[in-house]
Amino acid sequence: MDKTTITSPVIWADVPDVSVIRVGTTFYMVSTSMHSMPGCPIMKSENLKDWELVNYVFDTLEDNDAHNLLDGKGIYGKGSWAASLRYHNGTYYVGFSCNDMNRFYVYRTNDIENGRWERSVLGGLHHDPGLLFDDDGRVYVFYGNGDIRIAELTPDATALKPCGINRLLFETEREGIGLRCEGCHAYKLNGYYYLFFIEWPNSGNRRRRQLVYRSKELLGPYERRIVLDDDMGYLNNGVAQGGIVDTPAGEWYAVLFQDHDAVGRIPCVVPVRWEDDWPVFGAEGKAPRAFEALLPDAEPTPLVISDDFDYAENKLALNWQWNHNPDNRLWSVTARPGHLRLTTGRPARSVEFARNTLTQRTEGPRCAATASMDVSRMKPGDRAGMVALQRHFGTVGMQVDEDGSRYVAMTAAAEDGAEATVERIRYEGGAIFLRIAFDFENSADQAEFYYSADGENWHPIGRRLQLKYTLDHFMGCRIGLYNYATKEAGGYVDFDHFRYCKQSGS
């Protein structure tokens, strides 16, 4: 039988709030995407360690000023949260809540890898929902933070069931707990209902931990047990929040995540066994860094890619996501073949609030990205280049002053949210090469910025940026390509290529 070695993290990048299922021999996973569009990425794997991005649940979630980044605030830290992925009778379901809309959504498709998703809006915030298709044909969602509730859905999960169950199920621990139970994953196994949660004590070791509640009756009473309280030796950051899945060989695993500061929340896999119908995570209470599994080896597929922007149609590779909804009139990969064209629209006060910033994740322990950019069609007041995108962002790129003079500049976020120029140098060329190098090893969380006139001789600019994971964005650092106006719309830049390199640690 095939064996493979699984080493955590299985993805050293921001893929939080993971929900995993198995259909046949293939595992599928959905994760939180918040303000990145398209949203709710679907990944697949044959072995739980090598994941390939295959689809998104939606291109855009809502069409309003906040989602379009036109209200001066956006939906940073909001949008789609903690989706639940399930498969039932030939249909795939994804349910999640959207904090800024105060809504609960269920999407469904018969083709998870290539299909379009049908959408239902159920109304009302159902925090961190866990969908459950019971064996009697009834459908439920479990949700909440501390006060755990249950609501019954129609059999096709398109609406709340009139006169169905809708009540408080139980209240979780309060004593010594800072963040009460949330992040529900629900299962019916071995005659029991199992509800998995995380909680975060504010006493003792003060780290996130994984819990399970179980009952033979849907409405309880439920028994409680801590199933994992371990940081895998990493800065007291608990490995927790996620669910369980079995393999074709009958083994069981939990797919969870761990906070890794500025790079984001990264997925880990933990072996699970059963004792007296309780799931037992890891070995002797610990999450092993590496272990053997009865699963096949596979060829890894990159999550972050280089791109020459050589497309036959105006459709980007799945690896790219926009920061908020794009204005599709103002970008193109076909207007100038072999280039990404970004045209400015409504003026913005900083890169944080500029539409059509195109992003990919960063990866640990180290990575770097370079891009070349034709800047000859920029207008006075325009800003274009490459960004390390978090709340405490940093950029390297071109600035055009009102008198038409051009500068290469490194900028950083100011405390008031403005974009402050750290250093700028007069630059007269019509094209420029840009580079950002990231170091996430041992939470160094730093970025350095460079420019070049020829792509060979690189010059540092500005200062080393200290990256920070903050709850207002609630997302790991992203690499972005941007172009925005501060004065008038219509200027454009053409990116000739984007080169990405993931680097090993020391």
The pLDDT score that the predictor gives to residue 417 is: 81
User: Residue 315: is its pLDDT beyond 90?
Assistant: yes
Domain map (residue ranges) of the chain: 4-293, 321-503
Please state, for a pLDDT cut of 90, what percent of the chain lies above it.
97
User: Residue 117: is its pLDDT beyond 70?
Assistant: yes
pTM comes to 0.97
Burial class (CB in 10 A: 0-12, 13-18, 19+), 296: middle
Could you read off the pLDDT of 395-437 as tens digits, one per residue?
Answer: 999 999 999 999 999 999 998 889 999 999 999 999 999 999 9
Cα gap 180→43, rounded to integer Å = 29
> Up-side HSE of residue 482: CA atoms within 13 Å toward CB?
31
- 4-293 and 321-503 agree in CATH topology: no
Phi, psi of 351 (to 5 degrees): -65, -25
The pLDDT score that the predictor gives to residue 416 is: 84
- Per the CB < 8 A criterion, the answer to whether 371 and 408 are in contact is no
Could you read off the pLDDT of 229-249 as tens digits, one per residue?
Answer: 999 999 999 999 999 999 999
For residues 73-98, give the mean pLDDT: 97
CATH 2.60.120.200 for domain 321-503, yes or no, is: yes
The pLDDT score that the predictor gives to residue 505 is: 67
Pick the closest to residue 473 from 13, 11, 17, 36 (CA basis).
36
Amino acid of residue 404: G
Please state, for a pLDDT cut of 70, what percent of the chain lies above it.
99
User: Residue 3: is its pLDDT beyond 90?
Assistant: yes
CATH level 3 topology of 4-293: Tachylectin-2; Chain A (2.115.10)
Cα gap 216→222, rounded to integer Å = 8
User: Residue 356: is its pLDDT beyond 80?
Assistant: yes
Could you read off the pLDDT of 457-503 as tens digits, one per residue?
Answer: 999 999 999 999 999 999 999 999 999 999 999 999 999 999 999 98
Q: What is the DSSP string of 383-437?
A: EEEEEEESTT-EEEEEEE-TTS-EEEEEEEE-TTS-EEEEEEEE---SEEEEEEE
User: Residue 506: is its pLDDT beyond 90?
Assistant: no
